[in-house]
Amino acid sequence: MGKGGHYSGGLSMRSFKEAFCLVAIAVVCGGIAYFIHPRAPSFGIDKLERQLEEVQGMAEVFWVDARADEDFERAHLDGAISLNIEHWEEQLVDFLDRWPPDATTIVYCSSLACMRSHEIVERLREELGIEEVYVLKGGWESLLEAGIVEEGGS
Amino acid sequence: MKALSRIAYIVLGVTFAWAGVVKLSDPEAFLSSILTYQIFGSSVAVVAALVVPYLELCVGFSLATGALRGGGRWLAGGLTLVFLLLLFQGAIRGLNVDCGCFGSNAKSETTGYAWPIARDLLMLAGLAIGIVGERVANKREEQ
């Protein structure tokens, strides 16, 4: 064990306490960020997700592509419309024109890790009050893996 | 040796702090990055997305200034090892760690493991220089 600010060899009690202090500060700051940060992620994101197999068993599905415009133009699922966070206002008009209220709306973006589709689903639920709207878990990647779409076209 | 140790700590501290600051602005983007490793459940990933940037900032501040450095050293080493393990498992499983969700959003290939792994190994080397340098300097002072 060192003296003063000296190096303290192994994982001494002092080092442990200092590490605990740093972790505690980070946890408190993270907790505050959860409540006040405008882009803080929310818990329970998996409740918004549906597996491809579940979606394939649904009676009527309305597909929404939340990827960027250039990706949509390059390839998209047949019948899907584009609705992304960059052009929410403009594309929402088209969405409302074509949205069938009896269908389940499924939103996809690029992959399992892509959060754009979650944001679109949350906005459709909060701003339009649509309840039957979910994220396709795995997004475009899961459609590719299932052979439903191809990289260059749907 | 003391000067070398100080420089190593400052460089490492600034690197950690910068890594934290970059992530602080968009926790959702960081969550997306965490999820690409396909190892954590969504709740754990959300907690990590909220806490890890502040932890990096605290560790960086600790290393650079010397405040609570005993704990900062261990956390720096622990965090870097966790990052390395995540990268290695991603590379072995062939995961696409760059989903591009906030960029072009195109599906990209599994690339870019070499530089992050090299960077983390450099950080571990920097930490070792800091610790060894400090230890040698302290021994000299005691003699």
Residue A122 and residue A105 in contact, taking contact as beta carbons nearer than 8 Å? no
Q: What confidence category does residue A2 fall into, taking pLDDT thresholds of 50, 70 and 90?
A: very low
- Which chain A positions have a beta carbon within 8 Å of B57's beta carbon? 26
> Tell me, what's the pLDDT at B111?
56
Residue A4 and residue B28 in contact, taking contact as beta carbons nearer than 8 Å? no
Residue B50 and residue A33 in contact, taking contact as beta carbons nearer than 8 Å? yes
| Inter-chain CB proximity B54 and A25 less than 8 Å | yes
Note the CATH number of domain A45-145. 3.40.250.10
pLDDT in tens, B100-112: 333 333 444 445 7
For A57, the 3-state DSSP assignment is coil
Q: Which residue of A has its CA nearest to B68?
A: A18
Whether ipTM > 0.95 holds is no
Q: Which residues are CB-contacts of B32 (< 8 A; sequence separation ≥ 6)? A: A113, A114, A115, B99, B101, B102
User: Would you kindly state where each structural domain of chain A is located, as residue ranges?
Assistant: 1-40, 45-145
| Inter-chain CB proximity A39 and B49 less than 8 Å | no
> Tell me, what's the pLDDT at A29?
97
Choose the closest CB to B105 out of A18, A39, A68: A68
For A93, the 3-state DSSP assignment is helix
Average pLDDT rounded to a whole number, residues A28-40:
94
- Which chain B positions have a beta carbon within 8 Å of A40's beta carbon? 27-28, 50
Cα torsion B8, B11, B17, B18: sign? negative
Q: Which residues are CB-contacts of B27 (< 8 A; sequence separation ≥ 6)? A: A33, A37, A39, A40, A41, B49, B50, B53
pLDDT in tens, A122-134: 999 999 999 999 9
Cα torsion B85, B91, B92, B94: sign? positive
- Which chain A positions have a beta carbon within 8 Å of B75's beta carbon? 19, 22-23
pLDDT in tens, A51-69: 999 999 999 999 999 999 9
> Tell me, what's the pLDDT at B33?
84
H or E element, residue A30: helix A13-36
pLDDT in tens, B3-42: 899 999 999 999 999 999 989 988 888 888 888 888 888 8
Choose the closest CB to A43 out of B46, B75, B131: B46
> Tell me, what's the pLDDT at B108?
41
